[in-house]
């Protein structure tokens, strides 16, 4: 008869200190609290779903909708304060770049607090129509249309304008897109996207000569009025000097085009803002950025523009977290154990395995015992389904030696991972998506929870054609 293998915590593994906690995290009675939220309780509290009381199952995706409102309000407040401090004479429009997370709960929350909407495709226009039908926005809400405007997308935008959405702003990436709207005869304010400085080959936007030609073409079309210069920086705002140098280059391009088209009065940054809790000082950055704009415009002798930020990651990154249970352990060849999760890291966090992006990963419980170095692995058969990923070249994590009922949290993962990994479709090794828990406050300010069940076999197999 074979003897039972020893439990992992019974092995003579070297102990390590518990991990340091970032701001906003704390431990109480062996459990992790995130911004005041008892994280383990999210897996323990029964919720209603499909007319029955059930306990949320892992993998569990958790949305904190209050974080979206807080982030939107904070950036507006940062601008308002910097505007006074540096004497900036113009205004800012904050738009949600829905590509970061187009789920209905997120879009609804941000539209209801007043965010403009940035869309990128024909189906995105359908989201605008749905939002209007639900009362999340009206026909006066600014809609910024980026992305390559191939015929189905251009047609959808033209129909939206014909239906009375008066503040629809198409931003042309090339001359061909411009001609589609020139022929339609509908009145629009429009923007032009400039090609910006880039450390990598850049396929977006128009060079200075093409921008001048486009401005001249628009000047001959009374129904299209050029108001917006779009200059998406290709490095994050957190890059400091690199970002400011790129911004200065773009502002000089704006000034040059303004001399040909004095109807220009908006400078659109595009995206590039990191998550709110990334460590960047937004107050300092905003003051520096507004000062840069004022200084360059003074040098160039052009009016200071209104500003547009199209941000996705900043608004949504920290609104979501994902919880997994450790279902088994395996000892690696180097003596470091793998904690096997009840889902796939590759499927849930494509930025981690494809780009080497790190997330805040912490145990949710068992903080009152010893800690060891360990790695995480998914349930798939793929060599790359691990964390830290092979692109990260990072040390193992510090995790509890006791894996009984251990829950692991991936925090601040609310931007891009859902759509890049796929939603409600088929995933690697046919592992199903888990449930989704949405945290909101009710009319009296008390916590309210709604829960969506995870995938079942008929849903996944149906997506693959097994009728």
Do 353 and 434 share a structural domain? Answer: yes
Q: Which residue has the higher pLDDT, 422 or 170?
A: 170
Domain count for the chain: 2
pLDDT above 70 for 3: no
**Residue in 119, 297, 381, 429 annotated catalytic:** 381
Do 151 and 32 share a structural domain? Answer: no
pLDDT tier, 10 (very low <50, low <70, confident <90, very high otherwise) = low
pLDDT tier, 263 (very low <50, low <70, confident <90, very high otherwise) = very high
CATH of the domain at 307: 3.20.20.10
Cα(100)–Cα(281) distance, integer angstroms: 22
Where is the domain boundary, 311, 334, 352? 311
Do 225 and 115 share a structural domain? Answer: yes
Q: Percent of the chain scored above 90 by pLDDT?
A: 70
Do 431 and 299 share a structural domain? Answer: no
Do 339 and 215 share a structural domain? Answer: no
Paired residues of 143 in beta bridges: 117, 168
Residues 6 or more apart in contact with residue 281 via CB below 8 angstroms: none
pLDDT above 90 for 254: yes
Do 115 and 49 share a structural domain? Answer: no
pLDDT above 80 for 132: yes
pLDDT tier, 8 (very low <50, low <70, confident <90, very high otherwise) = low
Can you give the residue range of the structural domain that contains 186? 88-311
Cα(121)–Cα(98) distance, integer angstroms: 11
In a domain, residue 334? The reply is yes
Do 336 and 274 share a structural domain? Answer: no
pLDDT tier, 322 (very low <50, low <70, confident <90, very high otherwise) = very high
Paired residues of 208 in beta bridges: none
pLDDT at 427: 72
Q: What is the largest CA-CA distance in the chain?
A: 89
Lowest mean pLDDT among 30-39, 185-194, 326-335, 454-463: 454-463
In a domain, residue 3? The reply is no
pLDDT above 90 for 197: no
pLDDT tier, 61 (very low <50, low <70, confident <90, very high otherwise) = very high
Do 294 and 204 share a structural domain? Answer: yes
Do 288 and 151 share a structural domain? Answer: yes
Do 333 and 273 share a structural domain? Answer: no
What is the mean predicted confidence (pLDDT) over 427-436?
Answer: 78
pLDDT above 50 for 136: yes
pLDDT above 70 for 1: no
Phi, psi of 61, deg, nearest 5: -95, 125
Do 202 and 296 share a structural domain? Answer: yes
In a domain, residue 367? The reply is yes
Lowest mean pLDDT among 94-108, 125-139, 345-359, 369-383: 345-359
What is the mean predicted confidence (pLDDT) over 56-70?
Answer: 94
Do 125 and 266 share a structural domain? Answer: yes
pLDDT above 60 for 6: no
pLDDT tier, 199 (very low <50, low <70, confident <90, very high otherwise) = confident
pLDDT at 9: 58
CATH of the domain at 428: 2.40.37.10
Where is the domain boundary, 285, 311, 337? 311
In a domain, residue 4? The reply is no
Contact 374/8 with Cβ under 8 angstroms?
Answer: no
In a domain, residue 6? The reply is no
What is the mean predicted confidence (pLDDT) over 414-428?
Answer: 78
What is the mean predicted confidence (pLDDT) over 389-418?
Answer: 92
User: DSSP string covering 262-306, please?
Assistant: TT--EEE--S----TTSS--HHHHHHHHHHHHHHHHHHHT-PPPE
Q: Which residue has the higher pLDDT, 421 or 37?
A: 37
In a domain, residue 284? The reply is yes
In a domain, residue 73? The reply is no
Mean pLDDT across the chain, nearest whole number?
92
Contact 14/372 with Cβ under 8 angstroms?
Answer: yes
In a domain, residue 80? The reply is no
Residues 6 or more apart in contact with residue 314 via CB below 8 angstroms: 71, 75, 273, 274, 275, 276
pLDDT at 160: 98
pLDDT above 80 for 48: no
Q: Please say if 381 is a catalytic residue.
A: yes
What is the mean predicted confidence (pLDDT) over 221-237?
Answer: 93
Helix pair 122-134, 104-112: axis angle to 10 deg = 60
Where is the domain boundary, 311, 330, 361? 311
- Nearest-CA neighbor of 105 among 421, 280, 320, 333? 320
Taking residue 46's Cβ as centre, other Cβ atoms within 10 Å add up to: 12
pLDDT at 7: 61
pLDDT above 80 for 332: yes
Residues 6 or more apart in contact with residue 251 via CB below 8 angstroms: 231, 267, 292, 293, 296, 297, 300
pLDDT above 60 for 4: no
pLDDT at 116: 99
């Amino acid at each position: 008869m074979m003897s039972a293998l020893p439990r992992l915590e019974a092995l003579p593994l070297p102990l390590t200190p518990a991990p340091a906690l970032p701001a906003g995290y704390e431990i109480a009675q062996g459990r992790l609290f995130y911004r005041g939220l008892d994280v383990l309780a999210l897996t323990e509290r029964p919720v209603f779903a499909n007319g029955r009381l059930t306990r949320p199952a892992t993998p569990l995706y958790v949305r904190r909708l209050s974080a979206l409102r807080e982030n939107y309000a904070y950036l507006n407040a940062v601008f308002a304060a910097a505007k006074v401090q540096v004497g900036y004479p113009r205004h800012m429009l904050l738009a949600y770049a829905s590509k970061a997370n187009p789920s209905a709960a997120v879009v609804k929350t941000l539209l209801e607090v007043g965010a403009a909407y940035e869309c990128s495709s024909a189906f995105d226009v359908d989201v605008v129509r749905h939002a209007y039908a639900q009362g999340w926005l009206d026909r006066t809400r600014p809609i910024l249309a980026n992305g390559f405007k191939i015929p189905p997308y251009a047609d959808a935008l033209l129909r939206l304008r014909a239906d009375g959405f008066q503040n629809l702003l198409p931003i042309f990436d090339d001359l061909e897109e411009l001609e589609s709207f020139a022929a339609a005869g509908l009145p629009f304010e429009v923007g032009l996207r400039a090609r910006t400085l880039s450390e990598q080959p850049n396929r977006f936007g128009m060079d200075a000569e093409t921008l001048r030609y486009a401005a001249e073409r628009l000047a001959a079309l009374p129904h299209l009025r050029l108001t917006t210069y779009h200059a998406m920086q290709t490095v994050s705002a957190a890059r400091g000097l690199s970002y400011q140098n790129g911004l200065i280059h773009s502002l000089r391009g704006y000034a040059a085009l303004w001399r040909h088209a004095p109807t220009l009065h908006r400078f659109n940054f595009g995206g590039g803002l990191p998550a709110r809790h990334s460590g960047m000082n937004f107050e300092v950055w905003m003051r520096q950025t507004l000062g840069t704009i004022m200084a360059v415009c003074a040098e160039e002798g052009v009016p200071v523009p209104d500003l547009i930020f199209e941000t996705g990651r900043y608004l949504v990154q920290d609104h979501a977290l994902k919880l997994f249970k450790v279902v088994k352990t395996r000892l690696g060849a180097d003596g470091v154990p793998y904690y096997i999760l009840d889902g796939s890291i590759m499927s849930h966090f494509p930025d981690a395995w494809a780009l080497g992006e790190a997330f805040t990963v912490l145990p949710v419980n068992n903080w009152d015992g010893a800690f060891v170095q360990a790695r995480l692995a998914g349930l798939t058969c793929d060599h790359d389904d691990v964390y830290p990923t092979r692109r990260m070249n990072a040390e193992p994590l510090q995790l509890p030696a006791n894996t009984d009922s251990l829950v692991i949290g991936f925090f601040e993962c609310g931007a891009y991972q859902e759509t890049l990994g796929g939603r409600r479709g088929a995933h690697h090794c046919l592992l199903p998506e888990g449930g989704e828990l949405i945290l909101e406050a009710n009319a009296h300010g008390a916590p309210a929870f709604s829960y969506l069940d995870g995938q079942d076999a008929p849903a996944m197999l149906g997506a693959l054609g097994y009728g």
